Amino acid sequence: MSSGQTYMQRQTMKSYPLIRPTLPQPEEILDQVREAMESGRVTCGGNVEALEKEVSELIGVKHVVAVSSATSGLVLLFRALGLPAGSEVITPSFTFAATAHALLWNGLKPVFCDCEPHSFTMDASAIEGLITPRTRAIYPVCVFGVTGDLESYAALAEKHGLLLIYDSAQGLGSKYKGQWLGGFGIAEVFSMSPTKVVTAIEGGLVTTNDDILAERIRSMRDYGKGPDGQDMMHLGLSARMSEINAIVARWSLARVEQWISSREALIEHYQERLAVLPGIRFQFVPEWCRSSRNYFVILIDSVHSPVTRDELHDALAEAGIQTKRYFYPPLHHQTLYKENGLAEGVKLPVTEQISASSLALPLYSHMRVDDVDWICDRIVSIFR
């Protein structure tokens, strides 16, 4: 907020964060919380088991393992897959850093693939050109809720004898050709952090139809313990989910359709209001996808728009509206990845262009259409 504003102006100014988690009123879950605390079993108890069963039934996947975050789930998953050190894994650069962090934690090499210009998901047609004798897996990402071309990824994985792992952190609720995400490839991982449509406050889920993999990850979320609880079978982490997180997650999951339809209505309104502005376009949701609508991201083409992405970001911040350049910078421009030599020779023209022009606007399930109007009024006036 600029220091030039008066006290009265500051008092009357609304402010919007990029996201707000939609959570139960404390009274709604108090009885379950009390019961869990009185039972003495406060982690990986009845609520975690119930959550795993509910997700498994909803999305139609055999195994669901609740963990402390998607990041820990991805780290454990790649460890459990046991790929040889130095193996190459093809993944997008236009994603959140945790996607590729999970590879580095496991001594694997991310090979960055370009994204598709309309859906922003990993470009299936660019994958084959990146395959080498060291490639072991294809690892695409659900981008803001939009699923990639899962059939093409699976066909390529099969043709080249590669594993397919899907980072579905943003995709609990998304569907591909009517099928919920969760059962594609060898395994998928969802996030239930506060920024997600279905939230546990903090948490994640690993989903798979593979019995051995599920059992291994179940052990590895609890240090790698064997059945006797003492002998260590695997190198694990302390990555369990608490009962309190599972109670919140079950409340949130039971309302997933409500959250998605309210987000769909808000995005439709945003799009109606913003489509008239020059140089703005929106993420395309292919007809085969039902997006979880985790984020609403616009692209600002500075050739046709009177303001650049960064100018719009700054002007909205001045007006009390938090937006985010997202995903930005792309991973191959981030220090960690550059210092590990993972940017050398990497050419991703679509990723560069999308990442330089994308801006996530405020969106949360309990936002009101009035709020969208207020934000759009500010954007329209900035464009003028």
Contacting positions for ligand PLP (CB under 6 A):
69-71, 95-96, 98-99, 141, 167, 169-170, 191, 193, 195, 204
Select 99 or 355, whichever has its Cβ closest to ligand PLP.
Answer: 99
Distance in Å, CB of 341 to ligand PLP, minimum: 23
Nearest residue (CB) to ligand PLP, 183 versus 203: 203
C-beta closer to ligand PLP: residue 147 or 191: 191
Instruction: Provide the minimum distance between the beta carbon of 50 and ligand PLP in the complex, in angstroms, as a whole number.
Output: 20
**What is the crossing angle of helices 243-253 and 46-59, to 10°?**
30
Q: Minimum Å distance from CB 52 to ligand PLP?
A: 16
**Minimum distance from residue 102 beta carbon to ligand PLP (Å):** 8
CB closer to ligand PLP out of 74 and 280? 74
CB of 274 to ligand PLP, least distance (A): 24
Nearer of residues 69 and 292 to ligand PLP, judged by Cβ: 69
Name the minimum Å distance from CB 191 to ligand PLP. Answer: 3
Question: Looking at beta carbons only, is 124 or 379 nearer to ligand PLP?
Answer: 124
Between 120 and 383, CB nearer to ligand PLP: 120
The closest of 379, 374, 365 to 298, measured between CA atoms, is: 379
Say how far apart CA 166 and CA 184 lie, in whole Å.
7
Smallest gap, in angstroms, from Cβ of residue 192 to ligand PLP?
A: 7
Give Cα separations from 371 to 360, 363, 367 (angstroms): 15, 10, 7
